[in-house]
Amino acid sequence: MTVAIKLDPALEERLRRRAASSGRSTSEVVRAALQAYLDQPDPQPPRSAYELGADLFGRHRGPADLAQDRKQGFAEIQAERHARRGA
C-alpha cells in the first residue's frame, strides 16, 4: 500500500538526514517509526473527573451547608471587615 503524508520542511529535513546517516531510505525510516508506534500498547481512554478525584472525595470535613449559606457567610465576613475599619 502506498500512503502519502505531508511534513513540514523542518521535519522532512530531519527525516532525510536520519535516513542518510543510517543508510536507509526515508520510506524504511518511516515504516520503522510507524511499526514502533503501533507496537506500543493502546493508550488508556481519558478518565472522568469523578474517577480522577475518587480517592479525595469524602476525605475532608467542613460545614455541610457551606454552599447553601455562602451569601450569609460572605455578609458576615464583610460586616467584620467593615467593623474593623470603623473601630
Parse the chain into domains and list their residue ranges.
9-39
Distance from the first to the final alpha carbon of the chain: 84
3-state helix, strand, coil in the chain (%, to 5): 55, 0, 45
pLDDT score, position 87: 64
pLDDT digits (tens, 9 = 90+) for 10-47: 999 999 999 999 999 999 999 999 999 999 998 888 89
Task: Give the whole-angstrom CA distance, residue 77 versus residue 75.
Answer: 5
pLDDT score, position 33: 96
Task: Give the whole-angstrom CA distance, residue 20 versus residue 43.
Answer: 32
Q: Which of 51-55, 59-63, 74-78 has the lowest mean pLDDT?
A: 59-63
Q: Is the pLDDT of residue 4 over 90?
A: yes
pLDDT score, position 69: 76
